Chain A
């Protein structure tokens, strides 16, 4: 009964590959997010979707493409992976009056 679940937990891939990370929430929240945590632990928002509509896109390279098939799912596809994409990617969800609930993260390593 995990609230926000991400898969995979770990992802190791070569430069130039394309990969996807999936996220699902069962909290009934309206809004979902992708955050990136870099090697210095700094967390920054990438995207936000509200009821399947993109509402925040924070100067992220267009190699990153989020997709929300319904309000319970938000996936992140990354094309042509680069070394600098190595990070931990967190999915989160929220609804009015609630705080954020974060997933456990996907550690992406590009070699």
Chain B
């Protein structure tokens, strides 16, 4: 069955430090992969997506993610975190016919940023 695992429930980093959020997926075919961010009380904003091609994907707000098929991973990275990056981050895999008729989400990683 398709699933997404985000091993870190909560991560705290200092402002200016680098960040890596982990995501592992289980999916039989070539996955469509997404990272979303949710600020408190807000909706979900798409940071980046991987459909095919270059395995290093650039997104908004300075984020990037790398698809590694051999590790079934799609980790999110940012070289220097800003206080405004504090939020909940969700990794998702698209499933169903057409590749993403539905999104299967991980449980999320809550990012806290210390000044």
Q: Choose one: B49, B88, B102; the contact of A48 (CB below 8 Å).
A: B102
Report chain A residues within 8 Å CB of B103: 35, 43, 45, 100
Shortest distance between the CB of B98 and any CB in chain A (Å): 7
Is A42 a contact of B107 with CB atoms below 8 Å? Answer: yes
Mark the stretch among B16-24, B40-48, B64-72, B77-85 that contacts chain A: B40-48
Is A56 a contact of B102 with CB atoms below 8 Å? Answer: yes
How many of chain B's residues touch chain A, expressed as a range?
20 to 34
Q: A31-B101, A41-B108, A56-B101 are in contact. Are A103 and B43 (CB under 8 A)?
A: yes
Report chain B residues within 8 Å CB of A100: 34, 44, 46, 100, 103
Report chain A residues within 8 Å CB of B107: 40-42
Report chain A residues within 8 Å CB of B105: 42-44
* B interface SS class: strand
Residues of A within 8 Å of B, CB-based: how many?
25
Q: Which residue of B lies closest to A4 (CB)?
A: B43
> 0/1 per residue, A67-111, Cβ < 8 Å to B?
000000000000000000000001010101101111111000000
Report chain A residues within 8 Å CB of B98: 96
Leading 8 A-B pairs by shortest Cβ distance: A104-B43, A102-B44, A43-B105, A45-B102, A99-B49, A99-B46, A102-B43, A41-B108
Listed in ascending order, the chain B residues whose CB lies under 8 Å from chain A are: 34, 36, 38, 42-46, 49, 51, 88, 90, 96, 98, 100-105, 107-108
